[in-house]
Amino acid sequence: MSDRWLAPNLLRTDARMRFFCLPHAGAGASAYRAWSQELPADLQLCAVQLPGRENRLNERPIDSTTKLVPELLGGIRAYLDRPFALFGHSMGALVAFELTRELRHLGLPQPRHLFLSAHRAPHLPGLFPHVHALSRPEFIAELRRLEGTPDEVLAHEELMQIAEPILRADFKLCETYEYVQGEPLDMPLSIFGGVDDPNVQPAVLEPWREHTRASMRLRIFPGGHLYPQQARAELVSAILSDLRVDSVRLTI
């Protein structure tokens, strides 16, 4: 069994439920490292490691959901042997949504709950269709304007040499995504955003309601597009609260 799709040293076999977390554009599984300290013992953090970053730096990043989702599913399928939930931030939210639809299509176990953060509802048109194809100066300027990449990365030439191909692939994945009409999902959705996120406001988060037959809860936290870094404790608390409300049997 290959664990390359999941962060090393976080996997256990005694958890009663697994919690798969997908990162935002340019980020790796380490974005969720601190979360493990705030989750109950029987909720297993499974931080997803996408190709091209961190311990998979020598692999080519994948630039479309149609390519990524089947490979991701193949990488985590062995870990769907117990109840699980999915969380995705920004690009990760889009991937989590399409992964859930693929699980349904194949008749495989589906998440008990879907937590989607800082991404517009998938049927809405995107605002920035060509960021991934900009020249390097324009690309860096746009990354800075969108506030989705830390300044310490943008200002560091060596870090940008590593991050730029990953970021371009991730932006292409989001900007070339084409929503295909489908039946609403059957699990509850929790939708999150940052109050100061200039491009993902409640008006584009509320329409996620159309994609579930179950309940949908929308919460807005202090901060911008990377609000989980500043409001992690509040965000994790909201996630655990929603799991309790939906009667997932955990010792929380």
Gap between the Cα atoms of 115 and 189, Å rounded: 6
Q: The tokens 């300290």 sit on which residue?
A: 37
Gap between the Cα atoms of 169 and 207, Å rounded: 26
Catalytic residue check, 90: yes
Do you know the residue count of the chain? 252
Query: Would you kindly state where each structural domain of the chain is located, as residue ranges?
Result: 17-126+181-245
Catalytic residue among 2, 30, 64, 90: 90
pLDDT at 11: 56
Cβ partners under 8 Å of residue 63, min gap 6:
132, 168, 169, 170, 172, 173, 176
Among candidates 157, 119, 118, which has minimal Cα distance to 140?
157
pLDDT at 145: 77
Gap between the Cα atoms of 98 and 145, Å rounded: 27
Q: The tokens 């929380």 sit on which residue?
A: 252
For each of the chain's 252 residues, which pLDDT tens digit applies? 357 899 865 555 678 899 999 999 999 999 999 998 899 988 999 999 999 999 999 999 999 999 999 999 999 999 999 999 999 999 999 999 999 999 999 999 999 999 999 999 999 988 766 889 888 888 888 888 776 677 777 777 888 888 889 999 999 999 999 999 999 999 999 999 999 998 899 999 999 999 999 999 999 999 999 999 999 999 999 999 999 876 544 444
Match domain 17-126+181-245 to its CATH number in 3.40.50.720, 3.60.15.10, 1.10.8.620, 3.40.50.1820: 3.40.50.1820
Gap between the Cα atoms of 99 and 95, Å rounded: 6
pLDDT at 248: 45
pTM: 0.92
**Collapsing DSSP states into helix, strand and coil, what is residue 89?**
strand
pLDDT at 131: 87
